[in-house]
Structure 1
Amino acid sequence: MLIAKAAAQYRSQLLSPRALSLSQAAASSAFRRCYSTAPIGMSTSQIVEHVVLFKVKPDVEAAKVNDMIGKLNGLGSLPQVAHIAAGALLRARSSSLSFTHMLHCRYRSKSDLADYSAHPDHVAVVKGYVLPICEDIMAVDWIPDCFSGPIKVPAGSAIRATFLKLKESVGENEKNEVLRVNKGIKEKFPSIEQLCVGENFSPARAKGYSIGSIAVVRGVSELETLNEAKDTVEEFLDDVLAVDFAVPAEQSANL
């Protein structure tokens, strides 16, 4: 409860227009405190997944959207970022939400994610280019149990990101079954070159979605061969949000 409260306080501080002017050192300190009570459990074979979904206002000029995407991709120059890719979604499917763009980042530790979130360059991009044109934002963070393959997702690859919202009545055993089924989809779909599944550890902006997964395939055409692995565990789920995304062939390095 303490961890969730501190994380929620930090997230709300970072993204509210008022608090974007607050001391970044204070915000970073709050975020670090919320994780200091929990083991990070990182190793050289583990990474932190960070996915942000944006819903751009329908009347926004294309140039402003392009500026937002360019600035987000430019954050890859920050030392904490192991991988970053931002762009328009190919498709989004959900019973209750709709998004237009996605940011996918990877870090080598939770501390790197905290430093990135509080970095002045990141805050400046959020304040100057994201908040003015977006009407909704959702973010999910998780650590895959067993990570293998390249940290940087190859340019030209395609991603299906899936987020699961569990029913309130679901217990630990049912949750573990949902995780097991989703971790097993790589065996069913040979086109998946990398699969990263895990539990969200920063719930403040996740809209109740507690499990995230990233399936990386060679290209957009391979996305059509994938189906969500919800069939055998659908009784435990309140909602499934699935989005398809193409990793840009060229990513801006300019802030």
Structure 2
Amino acid sequence: MICLRAALPFACSPLRLNYPASSRAAAAFRVAAMSSSYSPAVATPIEHIVLIKVRPEAAASGAAAAMVSSLQALSTAVPGLSYIHVGPVLRLRSPAAEALGPTHILHSRYATKPDLAAYAVHPAHVAAVQGHVLPNALDTTAIDWVNAARAPSPVSPGSAVRLTLAKVKEGVEVPQLVEKVAAATAAAGEAKGAKVSFGENFSPARAKGFQFGMVAVFDSLEELDAVEGDRKVEEAKAAIRPLLDEVLVLDFVVGPASAEAPAPANL
């Protein structure tokens, strides 16, 4: 099912899920968000996203939390890993996201493709995947891209991130979409403080047909929510909509290293 309103990661109406809506609840969620390792000054061009749908029994038993901890620990174990955040999905914001049903997300960054390749085969990563991800995941989806945005999108504690994955319509080339997104985001400017990274997926094997990825990083969940209905964003969205087929949109929050994980998306 197509979500045309999700043409940009900062331009889709939310689904009605049971998540905090008030500023007080949003702040509480950020305090409870899962740990990450930050490299805000590093303009890393390689993005690696993995969406994980954990088994309900894994969430109930604590196995999902152990999975998150094992993956987060890679921040100090794998050379060339510039940034990693592992934690629960906050909100599913498109029909495609709801259909896929991810409960957790891994977002990591690398300076080069060889760094990403080295991470994939590193013994610590392999051990975390075999020991924690595979036994506890019902499904995984992965996508990688080289950042085509002109400016970096640093992530810091408390950041709220909107992820968009897209499939293009028949006859549309992905580089055409990347060019159009570049023009549209430049025209929109830094909508409500968003910093973006986007590009063409170069790892199709586990991407379920998604050809394009984009993250929009906001300083807070309140800033992300405030972008809804922004005129410039709506204009950028309208410029990109004709190129898109299926779009997956979700939000997650990056939190301090000392915090506990909140409950994942209730699916």
1:222 — aligned with what?
223
TM-score, normalisation: structure 2: 0.70
Q: Which runs of 5+ in 2 are unaligned?
A: 1-41, 260-267
Distance 1:185 1:134 in 2: 40
CA deviations 1:158-207 (Å, max 9, x no partner) are: 11111111122224675355433553375161321x21111111111111
Distance 2:171 2:192 in 1: 34
% identity of equivalent residues: 38
- Following superposition, the deviation at residue 221 of structure 1 comes to 1.5
1:233 pairs with one of 229, 232, 240: 240
Stretch of structure 1 that moved more, 138-147 or 182-191:
182-191
Distance 2:175 2:119 in 1: 34
Letter in 2 for 1:156: G
Asked if 1:58 is matched to 2:59, the reply is: no
Distance 2:161 2:188 in 1: 13
User: Is contact 2:178-2:199 (8 Å) kept?
Assistant: no
- Following superposition, the deviation at residue 140 of structure 1 comes to 1.0
- Compared with structure 1, are the counterparts of its residues 223 and 172 closer, same or farther at alpha carbon in structure 2 (3 Å cutoff)? closer
2:86 — aligned with what?
86
If asked which structure has higher relative contact order (CA below 8 Å, sep 6+), I would say 2
- Following superposition, the deviation at residue 46 of structure 1 comes to 4.8
TM-score, normalisation: structure 1: 0.73
Q: Which runs of 5+ in 1 are unaligned?
A: 1-43
**C-alpha RMSD over aligned residues:** 2.4
- Following superposition, the deviation at residue 149 of structure 1 comes to 4.3
User: Is contact 2:81-2:110 (8 Å) kept?
Assistant: yes
What secondary structure sits across from 2:131 in the alignment? Answer: helix
2:146 — aligned with what?
143
CA deviations 1:219-246 (Å, max 9, x no partner) are: 1222212357543322321111111111
- Compared with structure 1, are the counterparts of its residues 106 and 46 closer, same or farther at alpha carbon in structure 2 (3 Å cutoff)? closer
- Compared with structure 1, are the counterparts of its residues 150 and 251 closer, same or farther at alpha carbon in structure 2 (3 Å cutoff)? farther
2:25 — aligned with what?
none
Asked if 1:207 is matched to 2:220, the reply is: no
User: Is contact 2:193-2:223 (8 Å) kept?
Assistant: yes
- Following superposition, the deviation at residue 147 of structure 1 comes to 5.2
1:87-102 → structure 2 map (5 Å cutoff): 87-96=87-96, 97-102=100-105
What secondary structure sits across from 1:76 in the alignment? Answer: helix
Distance 1:245 1:173 in 2: 27
User: Is contact 1:72-1:86 (8 Å) kept?
Assistant: yes
Distance 2:204 2:153 in 1: 27
What secondary structure sits across from 1:162 in the alignment? Answer: strand
User: Is contact 2:91-2:252 (8 Å) kept?
Assistant: yes
What secondary structure sits across from 2:90 in the alignment? Answer: strand
Letter in 2 for 1:239: E
User: Is contact 2:44-2:152 (8 Å) kept?
Assistant: no
